[in-house]
Chains A and B, each alone.
Chain A
Amino acid sequence: MHVPVSITINGRQYSRDVEPRLLLVHLIRDVLGLTGTKVGCDTSQCGSCTVLIDGVAAKSCTCLAVQADGTSVTTIEGMAGDEGLHPLQESFWNKHGLQCGYCTPGMIMASHELLRCNPDPSDEEIRHGLEGNFCRCTGYQNIVRAVRDAAGSATGGAQ
């Protein structure tokens, strides 16, 4: 069986016939070629596949593409605007919130969710808010600094 899905990703509409078992992350990466979103653990623990579905963070390895039919999805490629990088991207850069960078797309989408729900988080709230995202390089210190920095300059902004 193939099912038609129509999903807006980063403002552009895509229509495809997909197998029901196709995961959203595989639609994004393999079918549409948007490889910014990563697959890490593939078991909804590590958060590297985090995207926004209708503005709300979700783990795209644990969502079928058919479940996202008709929604508007934002991936890391959709964060930067015409004026340049998103404030969270700027902050991760400025505060060295990454080393290898593999977790970074998911980390930034999860940070966006955190600031959407809590625009002025404490360090402890940042750590709790990002507990579904694993980083194996930084020890998280600079990620917390980056999110704190971004909270001071903006509160999200991606659509």
Chain B
Amino acid sequence: MFAPQFDYYRAGSVAEAAALLAEHPEAKLLAGGHSLIPLLKLRLAAPSALVDIGRIDSLRSIREESGTIEIGALTTHSELASSELLRSRATALAEAAGMIGDPAVRNRGTIGGNVAHADPASDLPAVLACLGAEFRVTGGNGDRSVGASDFFEGLMSTAIGEGDILTSIGIPTVDSACGSAYAKFAHPASRYAVIGAAAALVVDEDGSCTCASVTLGGLVPAPVRATAVEEALVGTRLDAAAIASASGLTGDALDADDVLGDVYASAEYRRSVAQVWVQRALSSAAARCG
């Protein structure tokens, strides 16, 4: 398949990329290309130009600074999955990144490109929303930090505006009494999420749950918090019965009109079985607390 013709510019820095975007307002940013190139080949997108930010090394890092894990937008899924910092402090993110596509895809695809594309069947949006991520955006409208609930606006739609560049994603660090996990019902061929469930739990010294965050992706246009499940978990000891009972409230988070369906898995089916994946994510997260 051949993409439509476009011009190509390579940016050496974020400032240079911003200048190129200002000069070419119809240009799209290219990072790893694993969301954008398929769109170009299918001719679902036909930008006049691409601005390649893939070689701006300053955007490719994972580091902890003053209570936040800051992840550069060009960090690949392989790097997320193998990061010791993420595996210990944001386990769900490393776990989800390791489930994306296959090894060759994970070597090229980036966290920034993934969330900027905001495919509902993607894994990372639900996990990042669950972990309270902040998205750092620079460009046309100045520097700003956007929370996940505002960043993911809907189906393939984000708060990234014209001339904006997503530079990094910050995740608040958590203490050791926290556990997080991601459970995924993967489409058997594409490995995209039919249903993705992310859970993060905090327990006190007695093992009692003080805070719960549960987010669903894959079956909805943008990540959805399962607040009924979260509220039901707080105060429990996160035993199997408490998790099973809370997971049963998953359907309350899903407006039947919003649930996506396709030839492989209908909306009704996805809505019915979502609680199974929430239960699995919660069980893993609970086992990691402490």
Interface presence of A139 (CB below 8 A): no
- The one of B6, B102, B108 in contact with A63, judged by C-beta atoms closer than 8 angstroms, is B108
B117-143 interface bits toward A, Cβ cutoff 8 Å, 1 = contact, 0 = none:
000000000000000000000000000
A131 in contact with B191 given A42-B1, A44-B105, A62-B108 (CB within 8 Å): yes
Which B residues from 173 to 194 make CB contacts under 8 A with A?
189-191
- The one of A57, A64, A110 in contact with B33, judged by C-beta atoms closer than 8 angstroms, is A64
- In the complex, A110→B40 CA distance in Å? 25
Residues on the A chain within 8 Å of B33, using CB: 62-64, 67
Per the CB 8 Å criterion, the residue count for chain B at the interface is 29
Interface presence of A47 (CB below 8 A): yes
Interface presence of B30 (CB below 8 A): yes
Per the CB 8 Å criterion, the residue count for chain A at the interface is 29
Residues on the B chain within 8 Å of A59, using CB: 104-105, 108
- The one of A20, A50, A132 in contact with B101, judged by C-beta atoms closer than 8 angstroms, is A132
Residues on the B chain within 8 Å of A56, using CB: 107
Residues on the B chain within 8 Å of A31, using CB: none
Residues on the B chain within 8 Å of A43, using CB: 38, 41
> Are A21 and B3 neighbours in the complex by a CB distance under 8 Å?
yes
Interface presence of B66 (CB below 8 A): no
- The one of B8, B30, B103, B189 in contact with A3, judged by C-beta atoms closer than 8 angstroms, is B8
- Tell me the smallest distance from the CB of A113 to a CB of chain B, in Å: 6
Interface presence of A66 (CB below 8 A): yes
- In the complex, A43→B105 CA distance in Å? 11
A57 in contact with B37 given A3-B8, A66-B52 (CB within 8 Å): no
Residues of A within 8 A of B (CB): 1, 3, 19-21, 23, 42-45, 47, 50, 56-59, 62-64, 66-67, 110, 113-114, 117, 129, 131-133
